[in-house]
Structure 1
């Protein structure tokens, strides 16, 4: 089913409610998700964080791996998250920020109208009876605004790593059902090159507060095997 996204309008969506039961079900088939540097430490303690490259723009994006192949999310079981920390990008669905077609460079709050969470019967209302924004909507808007700002700083972080030529392609090998499987198409920080940076370059990264995120990313790579263990358990359970 294709997504139907529309700008949030008080008149049009006055009666809309958001049912947050099974709020994460929409991500059931997402094997990677974008993450922001502010959550690297928490996510990296459970899941691997890697970088992917857009071949069209040459831009790098930081993502968390939730599965080992397209369409596989090992962190969701019947809509329930199997870890301790839920990535921020999942928090606000079916609300999102979208480009305002009438104002270049501006964003507006939009609603994924096709989401099964959207209804008029049960859940959190988006607007009060007097037409004002509900506390639920205000909270979600604040959360989306914060995530957008953190996404901008993450883009700057990714660009810094790329400009310093610290990102290198990497193939990860794990064992699934006793057989090795290679995962390619990802990039990681070249730890050897990181350690060979000049004192001036390292000091710049430290002053800009980027080193904790870099180390969190490197440490998170140890979690790839944990994903493999989840995959093996999923196969065994289905057998």
Structure 2
């Protein structure tokens, strides 16, 4: 169900990644845009737990399979399909766009595997940065401008949210609450569409969690996040309906 990045060595959306510095990028600018072209054809985007309350209003929230699952929103039910972004990158408003997508083409990255230090990097292939005629300068007199420091702060907050998300996922795994998911959409043809390849919270196991643990989760805000995930799954049919209405498949079999 999840769209993989084009280069598995780079995060989703990024085609290249270089560290920003005042020497090489002294004259670079960054510009804003009303088209998220990097979201075209991407059906799933990583999400932090802090975003669950906003995201669950628009998208199903699922978790990846494997040993180190991460939360994702579904913007389409099939690979290569995004029902909220058209082929030109225009976003169907108003919908919530995850911070992972809003930070592009910037991100914090570790330049050396033996170092914990993160540096602000950018995808130089993006048309949102570079030797542009219009836009906000990234550096002035050898120092980062307000535009750069604001983006650095945004990316730093995203990393902090990422740590909280990892703790949330670790807690779910500690209590064995994740199960392989299956979503069935019956459109009345007698042959439902079935989606697998993701994880979700097992509600039966959630009901068995000890009261003291549930009380702690309620106090620290984890319990509402779990239910935001579970409630969001009801949106699967809406996403599927949008996909069919836009002619983006899957093909509905015609009864003979």
TM-score by length of 1: 0.90
CA contact (8 A) 1:52 1:61 kept: yes
Unaligned runs of 5+ in 2: 1-5, 8-14, 250-256
Q: Residue 230 in 1 paired to residue 239 in 2?
A: no
Match of 2:91 among 74, 81, 97: 81
Which consecutive aligned stretches of 4+ in structure 1 deviate over 3 angstroms post-superposition?
A: 175-179
Question: Counterparts of 2:178 and 2:226 in 1: how far apart (Å)?
Answer: 11
Change in CA separation of 1:152 and 1:192 when aligned onto 2, cut-off 3 Å: same
Change in CA separation of 1:111 and 1:196 when aligned onto 2, cut-off 3 Å: same
CA contact (8 A) 2:35 2:91 kept: no
Match of 1:68 among 47, 58, 77: 77
Q: How does 1:15-164 map to 2 (within 5 A)?
A: 15-54=27-66, 58-77=67-86, 78-82=88-92, 83-101=94-112, 104-120=115-131, 121-128=133-140, 130-164=141-175
CA contact (8 A) 1:36 1:62 kept: yes
Comparing 30-39 with 131-140, greater Cα deviation is found at 131-140
Question: Counterparts of 2:79 and 2:117 in 1: how far apart (Å)?
Answer: 32
Change in CA separation of 1:97 and 1:23 when aligned onto 2, cut-off 3 Å: farther
CA contact (8 A) 2:178 2:199 kept: yes
For residues 154-211 of structure 1, the C-alpha deviation after alignment (integer angstroms, 9 at most, x for no partner) is: 0110111011011111111225796632110111111121122111221222233201
Which one has the bigger strand percentage? 1
Q: CA deviation at 1:23?
A: 4.8
Change in CA separation of 1:201 and 1:116 when aligned onto 2, cut-off 3 Å: same
Unaligned runs of 5+ in 1: none
Q: CA deviation at 1:22?
A: 4.4
More contact order relative to length (CA 8 Å, sep ≥ 6): 1
